[in-house]
Chain A
Amino acid sequence: MTITDAALLARDVHKSFATATRRVEAVRGVDLEVRAGEWLAVMGPSGCGKSTLLHLLGGLDVADRGTVELDGIDLGTRSESERAVLRRSRVGYVFQFYNLVPDLDARENVEIAAQLAGAGRRDARRRTEALFDELGLAGALDASVTELSGGEQQRVALARALVNQPAVLLADEPTGALDTDSARAVLALLRRAHDDGQTIVMVTHDHRVAAAADRILVMQDGQIRDERTLASADGPVLADLLPLDR
């Protein structure tokens, strides 16, 4: 364990996959430190390794070489079941296509995540309702998730990701499937979570979305090609009238 205020630490991380014909080196020697409370955006062309990196950082996958530390814990030294416990309690995940459980209503999707991480029923319910309030979803608590719009489903997914107050929120193209207004709403919620101190690592192809983060990494061929830190000001909330990359 390293003494640091890093929420995430990656050292010389490598990951490759076998396809039918060859071996693809998806991540090739990435060094990365994400400070607690930082909002990091990861960009790069399709296949550059950015989603793989996100999976490695969140313990969804294990590096072939190198170390990943989440909140000071070296993920490579943990068994799959130990990593599952860590993921449930310390990592919030938001995917492009929400990944909600369609057989559960909106509230249950979030409460279950809290209960799986060890919360009691009443506590899970209380936290879920508070989050729905905060995310402007109070009216959708008992809705079937299949009845919700894409923007609403993504906000439910965000509630699920935040319900355990994770050490880090990992978001893979969180606005990628949304119309412009919903994308702005989700971004505004990420901004608010960030303002409350939430550490966020977000993969996006949208330059304007990336510009809301504190720091931007550009990946190419499995490596970090460029890294840019933006002057913070107060951090923008995306203005309604400006276009997003589409």
Chain B
Amino acid sequence: MKFVFLALLAPGRTHGYELKRRYDALFAAVWGPVNIGQIYVTLGRLEKDGLVTPEAVGQDGRPDRKDYELTDRGAQALDAWLAQSDAVPLPKSDLVLKLVGASLRGTGDARSIIGEHRQHCFQALRDLDTAAADLEPDSVAGLLAQGNALHLQAELSWLDHCESVLGSGPLRLTTDDTTSGAVP
């Protein structure tokens, strides 16, 4: 999160609530709004690390407002992050962990676990279609929605695959798997 806020400060100094407004305008349609508390916690950390610097701005009849500005170090940190390559987005699958867990616990029915997960993915895909109705394809929120849809479609295809490979009953683990530490 910290780099997003460094980036949102790149056009110039501003206050926490304006950062929330900018963040929400870009991302909230798909990711949901950011909590203002989280912004102030993040700004506090960035300030402690010397990446942003606060300035008190007087307001008529109201307490001073705190504006934040990128420091040189903050700008460098932002540039370094932009230049850095991202990790390949292959998450560890909670589904597989659950299949293993259910198998080890002796309660495992792979089909019901896969089915529940399928339900969530289908519902998310359906909700995404409703949420994406007013988005522009080349907007930030539009790109996020497209990415989410492709991920959900891939997940659903993978669930179909898991189901056809596993059939009914639990995920089969060999003794070797559970004793040699080879469980994923």
Contacts and interface: CB of A to CB of B under 8 A. Distances in A.
Nearest to B122: A211
Nearest to B139: A241
Interface stretch (B12-20, B57-65, B148-156): B148-156
B100 interface: no
A228 B115 CA distance: 8
A43 to B, nearest CB: 8
A241 B160 contact: no
In terms of DSSP, what is the predominant structure of the interface of chain B?
helix
Interface string B135-154: 11100001001100110110
Interface residues of A, number: 27
Chain A interface secondary structure, helix, strand, loop or mixed? loop
Interface stretch (B41-49, B74-82, B84-92, B124-132): B124-132
B149 A228 contact: no
Given A220-B164, A230-B122, A242 B145 contact: yes
B38 interface: no
Contact of B153 (A43, A218, A230, A243): A243
Contacts of A231: 123, 126
A207 B111 CA distance: 18
Interface string A191-207: 00000000000000001
Interface of A: 43-45, 207-208, 210-212, 216, 218, 220, 225-226, 228, 230-231, 233-234, 236-243, 245
Given A207-B153, A226-B163, 8 more contacts: A207-B156, A211-B123, A218-B163, A226-B118, A236-B133, A241-B142, A242-B146, A245-B153
